[in-house]
Structure 1
């Protein structure tokens, strides 16, 4: 009994620690400047909630139907984030699934490298600091006229999340017995037919999980969005980071903008949690 109480107490403490940044962001979006600096946390007890943060974005109840240049800018950045995140995630899942299937089903040899070495090479690309690629990408994108374009961001985001997709999907394909594909081939399916009609439906939970993780990573990406865009293709993280004024940081505006920016990810986590868990835990008991 005591052990169970301690476990639940530890879980409750960890839940509080994990969710407190979200609560702080949400509560700050309803504060005034003095409430932010004084560290007030509990609405109606420590401070009186205000729509000032959302009013500055044209997202408050009294401004939502009025014309607002800031709201138009927010919606533009929001749609840029949606298009770039969905486009890059879909492209990464397509390419990564094919690469992962090859690493799972065929034996490759490049010098001393084998399949495991190739897989680790893909994962090692996540260790590379993005700033190392700043100058090469700037020069390349300038020559290809991809600066400040959605296509440019989609391409670089695809490269960014591709290693994770390959690793997730490779584990998915490893759990699917080869005998299923061989039986499909015996029944008259081609290799591609067996892949699309047999293997992919079984590996769909992993694809959904990889797709969702890719969306989250692309949605939160700031460095390349700030480096390779000017205005037309800027995303929400760049807009959030730019909320500074002559007197310092507009915390209430930044918090309101952050709340609006993370809301889609919170909804994804709530409604698609079972798909994420299903995809990431598939094959764990192999």
Structure 2
């Protein structure tokens, strides 16, 4: 029998050990990542005693109760009854949807145009070139949001944009625009320039080549940029708390407001947080392949 067909026992043992360690590490990391979500969901079904005692397993450590969801008017016994708290929650939920989706849509449009320009043309602004301009956009993420608190308050007061969804969408657009530019520039860099040149030879203008040739190819990246922008805007708290008071408040502000003279209503806070993260969980489950495809499109040329 040839020596190549004889298996080395030590090599097989090493391979099995490595696989076991890899899967053990993945399981441990999955547990660490998913435990906060599990804790939030189970807390929404706890009473005050179970929250303070740290009970973890439903029907074993504690009996689930609808107290947290009842406080929002979302329990089975209050779902079809008039509830001002439920109306407030729905209004905040819609505010989050409108602000996040609207800002992400605007950011993808503007960011795609800026990224295409940085990818296809050469710019000079003072001492800066294309790479410097790209880094300038990305460096805006380093700036702490609290530094912009006073300028935005003064500006929005004069423009009468305080407590408005339009004002919130504008600041969210500025917040996620650097990420969109970064993602989309990588997308455009992977698309051969010859495709656009061939389209222009056939009679297309630069805009025609961009709209008919480049955008369809870069669509996965645009979807990924849009999804990531929605997630970042959905979870944003600082500007939502700073620039809104009643009409344009979002879910993160509502989650943080579940405090009173008696302390923190953990069950209500957990119920709102569970309802707030469910859309993001569904996005992660059903649109994962679009996110991965869009973010890895520029990894291999």
TM-score of the aligned structures, taking structure 2 as reference length: 0.95
- Aligned partners of 2:269 and 2:126: how far apart in 1? 52
Alignment counterpart, residue 164 of structure 1, candidates 168, 179, 187? 179
- Aligned partners of 2:300 and 2:223: how far apart in 1? 20
Unaligned runs of 5+ in 2: 1-15
2:226 pairs with 1:192:
no
SS of the aligned residue for 2:247 comes to coil
1:285 Cα deviation after fit? 1.0
- Paired position in structure 2 for 1:97: 112
- Paired position in structure 2 for 1:151: 166
1:3-51 per-residue CA deviation (whole Å, 9 max, x = no partner) reads: 0000000000000000000000000000000101101000000000000
- Paired position in structure 1 for 2:198: 183
2:99 pairs with 1:84:
yes
- Aligned partners of 2:233 and 2:53: how far apart in 1? 34
2:256 pairs with 1:225:
no
- Aligned partners of 2:151 and 2:230: how far apart in 1? 25
1:179 Cα deviation after fit? 0.2
- Paired position in structure 1 for 2:8: none
- Aligned partners of 1:118 and 1:40: how far apart in 2? 52
**Aligned positions, number:** 286
Aligned-residue CA RMSD in angstroms? 0.5
Structure 1 runs of 4+ aligned residues shifted over 4 Å read none
- Aligned partners of 1:249 and 1:7: how far apart in 2? 40
1:172-199 per-residue CA deviation (whole Å, 9 max, x = no partner) reads: 0000000000000001111100000000
- Aligned partners of 2:155 and 2:193: how far apart in 1? 42
Which structure has the greater CA radius of gyration? 2
- Paired position in structure 2 for 1:74: 89
1:109 Cα deviation after fit? 1.0
- Paired position in structure 1 for 2:47: 32
SS of the aligned residue for 1:110 comes to coil
- Aligned partners of 2:127 and 2:188: how far apart in 1? 24
- Aligned partners of 2:77 and 2:216: how far apart in 1? 48
- Aligned partners of 1:5 and 1:132: how far apart in 2? 48
- Aligned partners of 1:76 and 1:283: how far apart in 2? 39
Unaligned runs of 5+ in 1: none
Alignment counterpart, residue 241 of structure 1, candidates 256, 264, 284? 256
- Paired position in structure 2 for 1:113: 128
2:155 pairs with 1:140:
yes
Alignment counterpart, residue 216 of structure 1, candidates 198, 207, 231? 231
TM-score of the aligned structures, taking structure 1 as reference length: 0.99
